[in-house]
Chains A and B, each alone.
Chain A
Amino acid sequence: MNPLDPHLFRHEWARLVAALVRVFGVHNLELAEDVAQETLFRAMNVWKQAGVPDHPSAWLTTVAKRRVIDELRRARKQAIAAPEVARFLESEWTRVGTVDELFTEQPLHDDELRVMFSLAQPRLPEASQLALVLQLSCGFSDAEIAAALITSTAAVTKRLQRAKEVVRGSRSLYELADADLPERLASVQRAIYLLFNEGYHGACSEAVVRADLCAEALRLAGLLTKHPRTGTPETLALAALLHLHAARLPARLDEHGEPVPFSEQPRDRWDQSLISRGLALLGEASCGDTLTPFHIEAAIAAVHATAASAATTPWPQIVALYDTLLRLAPSPIVGLNRAIALAEAAGPERGLAELAALDARALESYVFYHAALGQLSARAGDRMAAKLHFARAIQLARSPMEAAFLTHCAARFGAD
């Protein structure tokens, strides 16, 4: 037997939910979730005693289909089928054939995308979209989402209940041919980007949870790139960005599990295959004349990925890329990152001057703003100021691990 995908259940969940939503319709989201849950529960129970079958996906599909047919029979005249296929599912003659068809490979791939697009309802807040994607496309439970997004399970449950109500209200699964695809695509890309960032920068102290979030974001971005309607240059640039950042994950923690500052990461531990894949995706993304913020962010990550060390990085080039990014998508955080790059290129005083020109109010609650002020103050020789800034950063830390990391940084700059 092949080694089992360590996240087989999670990935199969996404596949099953997609097919089941196709069958039962978006308005029966809960039924689709129940059947997916029960199918996996059965697998766990049977496999633990009888061993994992040679083709686990096929096994799960068979079990899910049998359940679907039972449900449809039992429902009789109640409308538990999706409107677009109800006619075929309600008739004894066409039921089994239609269910078979709905569970075949290629449409399934598209269905996973259609579920994601159905969740990216523009009227839902971003945090809700993210929670929905985590649950329905990645198989996270309420508690797992709460752990990943550092909030309470009760809050996630409430948020998901409200969000699912909105999703159930849409009449059918989203069609990838619909006219508002670009708007929805932007929401989906944003959700994937946030998912990755949550794993990459999030304060959750469990490294495993964070790596999972990054891996799921990569998987979903991969789904997007493979479909002709969603694999736009912007999507390719996003996928490039995620690959180039993911390459650094193995070097982000030292042997004691403590985070390592970017400039000190042993670059030989960066994942070269992810870097090559990222560079190739960026090349593909840049074939046309589309230039999006994801392109610039990926280009910045590519410069870092190909530099031998922090010291030999062409910092002026990075500053120039941040200039472009500021024009395309101005934000205080981009300004902050530009100031940090400028400090590398032209000295800490220049960086501090740039930081002073930023909107301090917008950045006041941002941990890394204070950490950057602390670091640059220390390097400019102002230890008193550095101490105050680091103290503020530590105060704002979102987890004990983040606080420990900042304390460590402060000590390195003699500002503890």
Chain B
Amino acid sequence: MSEFLYLYRNGEKLSPEQMQQQMGRWMAWMKELEGKGVLKNVGHPLERSGVLVSGAKRAVTDGLFAEAKDVIGGYSIVEAKNLEHAVELTAGCPIFAVGGGVEVRPLMKM
């Protein structure tokens, strides 16, 4: 078994009603992952603010996100047999229904 990081990329802007429905779907999906015993860490939602510190002079840039749509809105860690399995487990993630996506990254074993 290996661990994988799910990075949730936000989709389109939702109305209050859609947000409530979306929240319900997320909770159901998280429960499903938990039920399968693959959810290692439920993770965190991430603030929209944030900066990029780079270069020898540690230059601080904000507004690194070109599109609100592509912002990483949160993460979780799951356990899966391989990348293919980890991808398969994203089935049912509600983010796809609203034009968002999940970036699946294997954690390097140490």
Contacts and interface: CB of A to CB of B under 8 A. Distances in A.
Interface stretch (A83-91, A137-145, A161-169, A323-331): A137-145
B16 interface: yes
A80 to B, nearest CB: 19
B87 to A, nearest CB: 21
A49 interface: yes
A40 interface: yes
B42 A49 contact: yes
Contacts of B27: 47-48, 51
A196 interface: no
B74 A10 contact: no
A124 B74 CA distance: 43
Interface in B16-38: 16-20, 22-23, 26-27, 30
A8 B18 contact: no
Contact of A10 (B16, B26, B43, B73): B16
A347 to B, nearest CB: 48
A7 interface: yes
A98 to B, nearest CB: 26
Nearest to B75: A49
Contact of A8 (B20, B30, B42, B43): B20
B17 A49 contact: no
B45 interface: yes
Interface in A4-63: 6-10, 12-13, 37, 40-49, 51
B19 A44 contact: yes
Determine which residue in B13, B22, B45 has the highest number of CB atoms from chain A within 10 A of its CB, and name it.
Answer: B45
Given A7-B20, A10-B20, A49 B15 contact: no
B74 to A, nearest CB: 6
B26 A12 contact: no
Interface in A65-99: none
Contact of B18 (A12, A49, A51, A141): A141
A230 B99 CA distance: 43
A9 B24 CA distance: 12
A8 B20 CA distance: 8
A391 B26 CA distance: 47
Nearest to B45: A45
B44 A40 contact: no
A56 to B, nearest CB: 10
Contact of A49 (B13, B19, B43): B43
Given A45-B45, A45-B74, A46-B45, A139 B15 contact: yes
A12 B16 contact: yes
B30 A49 contact: yes
B11 to A, nearest CB: 12
A343 B107 CA distance: 77
B17 A48 contact: no
A9 to B, nearest CB: 4
A139 B26 contact: no
Given A45-B74, A48-B27, A7 B45 contact: no
Contact of B19 (A41, A51, A143): A41
A13 B30 contact: no
Contacts of B14: 41, 44, 141
B45 A139 contact: no
A43 B22 CA distance: 11
Interface in A284-340: none
B19 A40 contact: yes
List the 6 shortest-distance A-B pairs measured between CB atoms, nearest first: A141-B15, A48-B26, A45-B45, A9-B16, A9-B20, A139-B16
20 contacts: A7-B17, A9-B16, A9-B19, A9-B20, A41-B14, A43-B19, A44-B20, A44-B26, A45-B73, A47-B23, A47-B27, A48-B26, A49-B30, A49-B74, A51-B27, A139-B17, A140-B17, A141-B15, A141-B18, A144-B17
